[in-house]
A and B are shown apart, each in its own frame.
Chain A
Amino acid sequence: MNISLFITCFNDTLYPETGKAVVSILERLGHTVHFPLEQTCCGQMHYNTGYHEEINPLVERFADQFESAEAVVSPSASCVGMIHEFYPKLAALSGSKVLQDRIDALIPKVHEFTMFLVNELKVEDVGAYYPHRVTYHSTCHSLRSLKIGDAPLRLLRNVKGIDLVDLPGALECCGFGGTFALKNADTSAAMLGDKIRHIKNTGAEVCTSADNSCLMHIGGALNRQRSGVKTVHMAEILNTTEEGAQV
């Protein structure tokens, strides 16, 4: 299959390892990965902060880059959620019927990475080996916007050597919420504090999820506290085999 990668601005700039892992896994499964270089950002931060008019060009840009793709895959649950939930509204806001039709046709082809593996490619075992104690944070966008279900957990359960532990209070938000963490820093900190406590109580070495944005938030605090727990995107775990990371 020809798969176009939507890396997201965030992963492109800060978490290139996640993107490399996605490429490596998809190629290992026999697919061809394309990366349209004109892609930039989905506009989620703007949209969530109330700046809706500013990002209309980004919707059109996304359509330009990806509408010819066979499938679009992205290792970010929140960005995919943004596209699925709000691109139709933004397209409608633009007043262009053409853009609306283009977005409507494109959206069913846009997939979150772990859901793509499990639901589209029907793969649950990617041959990974990861001999560590890991806990999984189900991000709010995965859970409630994308209805990701147990796709990530199915993949993780098939990883050899992994010691997967449940995270107490797993359904609760980590307190990131984009600019929420700055605008309502006190509340965000209180939410993050509880999340960190739960993670530490699991005794895990690694906290993983399908979204680097939550992981940056959680990992930032784990690092500051010198907790000895690190955050790793799921793709990177799935890309580790008995021969090490496959890039």
Chain B
Amino acid sequence: MKKGSQPTFEETAGTYIENAQLRRNIGHATKTIRDKRQLVVQELDDWEELREAGRQIKQKVMNNLDRYLLQLEKSVSKAGGVVHWAADAEDANRIITNLIKEKKGTDVVKVKSITTDEIRLNQALENEGIHALETDLAELIVQLAGDEPSHILVPAIHKNRAEIRELFKSKLNLKELSDEPADLAEAARLYLRKNFLKAKVGISGGNFAVAETGTVAVVESEGNGRMCTTLPDTLITVLGIEKIVPEWKDIEVFMQLLPRSSTAERMNPYNTFWTGTTEGDGPQKFHLVLLDNGRTNVLDDETGRQTLHCIRCSACLNVCPVYERTGGHAYHSVYPGPIGAILTPQLRGLDDRSAASLPYASSLCGACYEVCPVKINIPEVLLHLRNKVVLHQKKEGGFRQKTDPVHLAMKFLARAFSKRSRYERLQKMGRAGQWFYKKDGTISKLPGQLSKWTAIRDVKPVPEKTFREWWRDRK
């Protein structure tokens, strides 16, 4: 049995591509952010040196991950925090549920965190009678609509102002509301402020955790992060084990790389750094949940390991020509775009047919690698994973794999290319066999897999003479 009931990328991409509003919204968003990013990156004449330092720091973390985790555990405990270890989503959700139940809480406020989306925390809490309120404006929109995020940075980018107005009117019980973004944001401010003030427990993700000092960082724009990490009496932070940096000094690298790559600002409005608990200031109980959930599988692959360097900036999404056309939902994962195409299959494993389709959701144009602030060679990992998918299919595929047209074609062509006589015979076969399809000097219709090409493109027929035939005749 194949795991996962989600469709593959190619199965649903067409539906999203045809959604005109989605195309326009995503196209506008990605273009705006990538142009702005270009400007703020150009300002720094040491950008490449920062990228290289970022890459080296992350590489050092991955090569010593257990040591840094133990160091972090020690420093957080020393600063008054409690550290929990979660091997998988179930583990993490159980730990968090129990912590909230100890506080007799039924409502918690949450800062936007993809890691908690990954483990489906909200659903797990709901099953236990606990309501987790999303406080990032876009996440609130997505939550109220019962929808899924479509972008790492701006999760509700697929919705327009009219839809959001209708949503707020019905879900927040507002009679009068304009569709001006400022008014919509104000409605969210008033609704959320009440909830911030009464919340006993806050849940956050974390952008960075400093092993040396136990300091955790949340990088944000709206102030909901400050609210959630300051107002409640208990704070629970869920942190992927790869989010560690060794020293406080490393923050100076990532706090230059992240804002410029992410929101395309010199600095985003608010960053909060806290070290355990502080008497009289902010939460008096701090729990840090360290999450594996497949990350050690990624670490286990020497080429794939660099995927864990990701700081979730979303720059790769904004330059990706594939993402720009399909949006995030086509990836059927909380991690969309180029980084999702390499992270998801490694986290979920290749038995998951939806995840295994993602390494192919790229034309390998390389734009993602060019902008990545920590120099993850995404095309390299994509190709590596494609190879793993093929090897996996060969091993598990059985008869279906053996008769798969792509597999057969690849086998046939590899054989043809390995010998000159076979290769030249193939050229002649192509020229002879095309008479059936050739009309008026062009080919407009081909059978089987190739019909996908000729659906919108003509094919130039094989000419009378190959280059090598011309060469031989010429001599």
| Interface size in chain A (residues, C-beta < 8 A) | 65
Q: Select B410's contact among A40, A46, A181, A190, beta carbons within 8 Å.
A: A46
B328 to chain A, nearest CB (A): 14
B400 at the interface (CB under 8 A from A): no
Chain A residue at minimum C-beta to C-beta distance from B415: A54
Residues of A near B470 (CB, < 8 A) are: 16, 19-20
Chain B residue at minimum C-beta to C-beta distance from A51: B410
Contact yes or no, A182 B452, CB < 8 A: yes
- B residues 269-328 with Cβ under 8 Å of A? 321-322, 325-326
Contact yes or no, A16 B463, CB < 8 A: yes
Q: Mark B417-434, 1 if CB is under 8 A from A, else 0.
A: 111100100010010000
B101 at the interface (CB under 8 A from A): no
Which applies to chain A's interface (DSSP): helix, strand, loop or mixed?
helix
Contact yes or no, A58 B418, CB < 8 A: yes
B92 at the interface (CB under 8 A from A): no
Contact yes or no, A144 B467, CB < 8 A: no
A191 at the interface (CB under 8 A from B): yes
A121 to chain B, nearest CB (A): 22
Q: Which of B370, B413, B449 has the most CB of A within 10 A?
A: B413
Contact yes or no, A13 B455, CB < 8 A: no
Report how far A62 CA is from B361 CA in the complex, Å. 30
* Contact A224-B387, Cβ < 8 Å, known A51-B410, A140-B363, A184-B9: no
* Contact A58-B321, Cβ < 8 Å, known A183-B360, A184-B10: no
Residues of B near A190 (CB, < 8 A) are: 17, 325
B268 at the interface (CB under 8 A from A): no
B243 to chain A, nearest CB (A): 29
- A residues 1-50 with Cβ under 8 Å of B? 7, 9, 11-16, 19-20, 23, 35, 37-38, 40-41, 43, 45-50
A85 to chain B, nearest CB (A): 8
B365 at the interface (CB under 8 A from A): yes
B457 at the interface (CB under 8 A from A): yes
Contact yes or no, A192 B456, CB < 8 A: yes
Report how far A145 CA is from B380 CA in the complex, Å. 11
Q: Which of A110-118, A169-177, A197-205 contacts its partner? A: A169-177
Contact yes or no, B10 A50, CB < 8 A: no
| Interface size in chain B (residues, C-beta < 8 A) | 61
Q: Which of A96-104, A125-133, A215-223 contacts its partner? A: A215-223
- B residues 433-475 with Cβ under 8 Å of A? 442, 444, 449-450, 452-453, 455-460, 462-463, 465-468, 470-472
A189 at the interface (CB under 8 A from B): yes
Q: Select A19's contact among B419, B455, B467, beta carbons within 8 Å.
A: B467
Chain A residue at minimum C-beta to C-beta distance from B463: A16
Report how far A10 CA is from B239 CA in the complex, Å. 49
Report how far A7 CA is from B471 CA in the complex, Å. 11
* Contact A177-B430, Cβ < 8 Å, known A12-B467, A48-B386: no
Q: Mark B385-408, 1 if CB is under 8 A from A, else 0.
A: 011111100000000000000100
B223 at the interface (CB under 8 A from A): no
Q: Which residues of B contact A (CB under 8 A)?
A: 9-10, 13-14, 17, 321-322, 325-326, 359-367, 369-370, 383, 386-391, 406, 410-411, 413-414, 416-420, 423, 427, 430, 442, 444, 449-450, 452-453, 455-460, 462-463, 465-468, 470-472
Interface contacts beyond A184-B9, A187-B326: sample of 8 additional A-B pairs, CB < 8 Å, sorted by A:
A9-B417, A14-B460, A35-B471, A50-B383, A58-B417, A141-B366, A187-B17, A220-B453
* Cβ contacts A to B, 8 pairs, < 8 Å: A12-B466, A13-B467, A35-B468, A41-B423, A50-B383, A220-B456, A220-B457, A223-B458
Q: Which residues of A contact B (CB under 8 A)?
A: 7, 9, 11-16, 19-20, 23, 35, 37-38, 40-41, 43, 45-55, 57-58, 61, 86, 140-141, 143-145, 171-173, 175-192, 216-217, 219-221, 223-224
